[in-house]
Amino acid sequence: RHTAATLPVVEGLYDRGNVAAVCRTSEALGVGAVHIIKPETEHYKKSRRSSAGAEKWVEVHRWDTTKDCLTAIKQAGYKILVTSLESSKPLSDFDWSEPTAVVFGNEKDGVSDVALEMADACIRIPMVGFVESYNISVANALVMYHAYTDRISRGEHGDMTDEEKQILTATFYLRHKWTHQKVLADMISTAEEKTATIQPGAALEGQSEQQSD
């Protein structure tokens, strides 16, 4: 039940744990890809290596600049929403069944001016306590869950074709070596069990009886 209609974009994250958390949470809610825009410091190299394991869960696309990333996403037909408190609208104001990309800013500076300029609208996540912002991975989880429930309420969420589902399943197995070995072993075991339950000659006898009749 994966979808390509909802797309998280994370801008300049420094914490590799947050990168992995965003990827895992997104996949858990059926999101097929995450776009990551690298920070402007060398910390990105460490985060990139350390977050490589997250790619086992979703397709991770990396970009050098916000402008390049959002330009490509716009050209692909996505509406771009940016998480910001300024002139923002609640999540419920939007139709999440439409192709929508959501830009989340980094832990230190929030979203960039470039992202704000290229956005179609700004969104806000409800907060009623004293804190001023959510952790990036929590913010992503809240928005992706809202998008999921909104799409379900409109009668749709997963929009992958059968062929895309097969490709996704095959990719998942190949990325998890221990998984595809276990899956193959289970398939072989199941096949052997089914073969063992067939009586030798039973099928041929059935055919002979039908022919004699």
In 3-state terms, what secondary structure has residue 122? strand
- Whole-number Å distance between alpha carbons of 89 and 86: 9
Residue type, 26: S
Query: Is residue 29 pLDDT above 80, yes or no?
Result: yes
pLDDT exceeding 90 applies to what percent of the chain?
A: 35
Residue 99's pLDDT is what? 93
In 3-state terms, what secondary structure has residue 62? strand
Please name the residue that has the structure tokens 């050098």. Answer: 64
- Whole-number Å distance between alpha carbons of 69 and 74: 9
Instruction: Return the closest-CA partner of residue 60 out of 46, 76, 75, 49.
Output: 49
- Whole-number Å distance between alpha carbons of 210 and 204: 10
Query: Is pTM beyond 0.85 here?
Result: no
Q: Classify residue 168: in a domain, yes or no.
A: no
In this prediction, residues 125-129 reach a mean pLDDT of 81
Residue 82 belongs to a domain with what CATH number?
Answer: 3.40.1280.10
Q: Classify residue 132: in a domain, yes or no.
A: yes
| Same domain assignment for residues 189 and 136 | no
- Whole-number Å distance between alpha carbons of 66 and 111: 10
| Same domain assignment for residues 132 and 203 | no
Query: Is residue 43 pLDDT above 90, yes or no?
Result: no
Q: Find out whether 125 and 89 touch, Cβ atoms under 8 Å.
A: no
| Same domain assignment for residues 42 and 78 | yes
Q: pLDDT confidence of 32, banded at 50, 70, 90?
A: confident
| Same domain assignment for residues 117 and 192 | no
| Same domain assignment for residues 136 and 201 | no
For 180, the domain range is: 176-212
| Same domain assignment for residues 121 and 206 | no
- Whole-number Å distance between alpha carbons of 118 and 174: 37
| Same domain assignment for residues 39 and 125 | yes
Query: Is residue 5 pLDDT above 80, yes or no?
Result: yes
Q: Find out whether 91 and 143 touch, Cβ atoms under 8 Å.
A: yes
Q: Which region among 35-44, 78-87, 98-107 has the lowest average model confidence (pLDDT)?
A: 35-44
User: Domain tally for the chain?
Assistant: 2
Query: Is residue 185 pLDDT above 70, yes or no?
Result: no
Q: Which region among 12-26, 118-132, 162-176 has the lowest average model confidence (pLDDT)?
A: 162-176
Q: Which region among 92-96, 107-111, 187-191 has the lowest average model confidence (pLDDT)?
A: 187-191
Residue 80's pLDDT is what? 98
What does each C-alpha distance from 184 to 81, 159, 179, 187, 190 come to in angstroms? 42, 28, 9, 5, 10
Rounded to 5 degrees, φ, ψ at 140 are -60, -45
In 3-state terms, what secondary structure has residue 63? strand
Strands 79-83 and 121-124, sheet pairing: parallel
Q: Classify residue 38: in a domain, yes or no.
A: yes
What does each C-alpha distance from 119 to 13, 34, 101, 144 come to in angstroms? 19, 17, 10, 18
| Same domain assignment for residues 15 and 69 | yes
| Same domain assignment for residues 116 and 200 | no
Q: Classify residue 138: in a domain, yes or no.
A: yes
pLDDT exceeding 70 applies to what percent of the chain?
A: 63
